[in-house]
Structure 1
Amino acid sequence: MSIEPGILYVVATPIGNLGDIAPRALEILGAVDVVAAEDTRRTGALLSHFGISARQVSLHEHNEPRQVPGLIERLRAGGTVALVSDAGTPLISDPGYRLVVAAREAGIRVSPVPGPVAAIAALSISGLPSDRFVFEGFLPAKASARRQRLQALAEDPRTLIFYESSHRIADCLADMRETLGADRRAVVARELTKTFEQIRGGSLDELCNWLAENEDHRKGEFVVLTAGAPEPTGEGVTPEAERILGLLLAELPVKKAAKLAAEITGLGKNQLYARAVGLKSGE
C-alpha cells in the first residue's frame, strides 16, 4: 500500500476479537514508518499475529510528553506514524492526546482509521436510550471523589457510560446504587467480544446482587451504562429532588426544607416550596 508522507494515522485495534480489525488498519500498520504503541509488547503480539513487521516506539501516559517532540520531527520530515492503544480507539481513555494536539498545532495532517470502541459497542446492545449519551471514562479511584462525581451526574437525563476495572467494579456499582438510586436501570457489559463476554441488565440494586453472586462476574474489563435521570414531574421537581425534599421535611419546617433543597439540587426555591406543601398535605 502506498501512503502519503507526513501523516499521523490514529488507528483503532480490536478490543478482544482479533477478527474485528479493519483491513485498512492492517494496511496502514504495515506501511507506516513507525507505530507509536501504548504497550509495545501487546501491539507486537497483534502485529505478529497478522504477519506485520513494523518499527515500534513506546507512547504511554508516563512518557508521552518526552516522546512527542521526536515523533513530530519525524512527521515534519515526511515520515508516517500510526498511533495505537492497547485496545480500541486511541485517546478514548487511552494515551495519545498530546501527540494529536501537537501534530495539529504543527499543521500535520491527522487521519482516523476507525474501528472498535468499547463504549459505543456496549451502548449499541444495552437497550438504553442511545440518541443522547455522555461518556465519563473511568470514575475516580477514591470513594469520596467517585461519589461526588456520581452525585454531579445524578440529574443528567442522558445515558451515562463508564469504564471500570475488575478490582473496583463492586464498589463502583454500590456507589451508583447509593447516589443514582437503587431502581435506576443499568447495564454491565463484561469482556466485550471476548470468550467470556457477558451483558447483564437490570436495576442497580439487581446488578449489585448479581456481582456478589459469583466471583467470575467481577473479573475482566467492564463498561457500565446507566439510564439518565427521569424526566421532571409535572411540578418540575425531579424524583431525586423530591426524595431529598422528603428527607429534609422530616427534620425541618417547609420553608427551611425548600430553601436547603434548592441549594442542594439547583432547582427553584418556589417550586420546591410548592411541592413541599403538597408532600406535607399528603399529595
Structure 2
Amino acid sequence: MKKGNLYLIPTRLGDNPPLEVLPMSIKRILEQVDYYIVENEKTARRFIKKVSPSKSQAALKISILNKFTNPEDLHGFLAPAHQGIDIGLLSEAGAPAIADPGADIVAIAHEQHIRVIPLVGPSSILMALMSSGMNGQSFAFNGYLPIDKAERHQAIKQLERRSKDFKQSQAFIETPYRNTKLFSALLNALSPHTKLCVATDITLPTEYIKTYPVSKWKQEQIDLHKRPTIFIIQA
C-alpha cells in the first residue's frame, strides 16, 4: 500500500483574511485532508473553517503536539500515513517546524519513509531577514534569549561578537509581552554602530519594519508590547 503524505501547512501570522497571504494550494490541501497534527485544536479548527467554510468539522481527526505532549506518542500520530491517509502538520502561526515543535514530527516522518511535502506560506523569520537589509547569505536564528538579566546581557554580547567575527546576521525572538525589556537590553548592551532590525506584526496592517544603528534607535519611540517581533543584529 502506498503511504500517505505529510503536508507541512503554513498559516497566517495574524487575523488578516487567510487567502490574502496564503496561496490557493493551502485551501486545496485543507479541503482534501482530514487528519491533522496541531499545536492548539481550537485555533486550528477556526483556521480550517475560515479557509474552507464548507468542510465538515466533525470529520476532522486532530492530534495535539505541544510542550505537554509525551514524546512516546509522536510515532502514533503518523499511523494513518501507513494506511495511505494524508496528514497535515499545521503551524500555530507561520511555517511549520521553524521555531515550532512540528520539527520532531518531520524527523519521524523521514525515519518512517513518509513523504514530506512543504507548502508555500509566510515565515516571519525569513520575511524579517528579507526586509532587514542585512546579510541574507550567512545568518543564524537563535530562538529565545535568556530571561535572566545578566545571562541575557551576556548572550547579546556573544551574538554581537559572532556577527562581527563571521559577518553573519543574528536573529532571535522574545515572548511578545517581554519585548520591551528585550529591546531596552539590546540598546544597553550593543555597540552604537551595530545595526538592529525590529520587524513587528509582519503581514498585518500594523506591520512595522525598521533597521537602524543602535545609536539612532536610542532616539526612537516604539511600542512593541504584546506585538510579535523578530529582532536581527549585524555588527
TM superposition score normalised by structure 2? 0.85
Shift of 1:92: 1.1
Take 1:79 and 1:132, find their aligned partners in 2: how far apart are those partners? 39
Query: 1-side partners of 2:98 and 2:67: how far apart?
Result: 13
Partner of 1:265: none
Match of 1:220 in 2: 227
Cα 1:108–1:179 change in 2 (3 A) is same
Partners of 1:75 and 1:208 in 2: CA distance: 53
Q: 3-state DSSP class of the match of 2:151?
A: helix
What are the Cα deviations for residues 210-256 of structure 1, in whole angstroms up to 9, with x where unaligned? 3xx45x443411011112x3xxxxxxxxxxxxxxxxxxxxxxxxxxx
Deviation at 1:5, TM superposition (A): 4.3
Report which of the two has the higher share of helix: 1
Task: Please give the alpha-carbon distance, in whole angstroms, between the structure 2 residues aligned to 1:42 and 1:6.
Answer: 25
For residue 130 of structure 2, the aligned residue among 124, 131, 139 is 124
Change (3 A) 1:30 1:131: same
What's the secondary structure of 2:43's corresponding residue?
helix
Q: In structure 2, what is the Cα distance between the partners aligned to 1:33 and 1:67?
A: 19
Matched, 1:173 2:186: no
Residue 244 of structure 1: aligned partner: none
Q: Which has the higher contact order (CA 8 A, sep 6+)?
A: 2
- What residue in structure 2 maps to residue 182 of structure 1? 192
**Stretches (4+) displaced over 4 A:** none
Distance 1:148 1:67 in 2: 37
AA aligned opposite 2:88: A
State which structure, 1 or 2, has the greater radius of gyration over its C-alpha atoms. Answer: 1
SS at match of 2:95: coil
> Does the Cα contact within 8 Å between 1:29 and 1:35 map onto a contact in 2?
no
Q: Offset of 1:46 from its aligned partner?
A: 1.1
| Contact 1:93/1:138 (8 A) holds in 2 | no
Aligned twin of 1:6 = 4
Q: Which residue of structure 1 aligns with residue 141 of structure 2?
A: 135
- Contact 2:78-2:87 at 8 Å conserved across structures: no
User: How many pairs were matched up?
Assistant: 222
The equivalences for 1:65-80 within 5 A come to 65-80=71-86
Structure 1: runs of 5 or more not aligned: 230-283
Instruction: Choose from 132, 150, 153 the match for 2:156.
Output: 150
Partner of 1:30: 31
Provide the residue aligned with 2:106 in structure 1.
100
Which moved further from structure 2: 160-169 or 80-89? 160-169
- Could you tell me how far apart the structure 2 residues matched to 1:209 and 1:31 are? 52
The alignment's C-alpha RMSD in Å is 2.1
Distance 1:208 1:101 in 2: 43
- Percent identical: 26
Q: Deviations over 1:102-133 (max 9, x none)?
A: 11111221111121100111112222232222
Q: Does 1:206 align with 2:216?
A: yes
State the Cα distance separating 1:153 from its structure 2 match: 1.8
CA deviation string 1:19-58 (max 9, x = no partner): 1112112211221231111111111111111213333222
Question: In structure 2, how many angstroms separate the alpha carbons of the residues matched to 1:64 and 1:176?
Answer: 36
Contact in 2 for aligned 1:13/1:87 (Cα 8 Å): yes
In the TM superposition, residue 67 of structure 1 has moved relative to its aligned partner by 3.5
> Aligned partners of 2:73 and 2:25: how far apart in 1?
26
Q: 1:21 to 1:55 in 2, by over 3 A?
A: farther
| 1:116-167 CA distance string (max 9 Å, x none) | 1001111122222322221112222222332232232222221111122332
Deviation per residue, 1:189-216 (Å, 9 max, x gap): 1111112211233222433553xx45x4
Greater shift, 10-19 or 201-210, is seen at: 201-210
1:164 match: 174
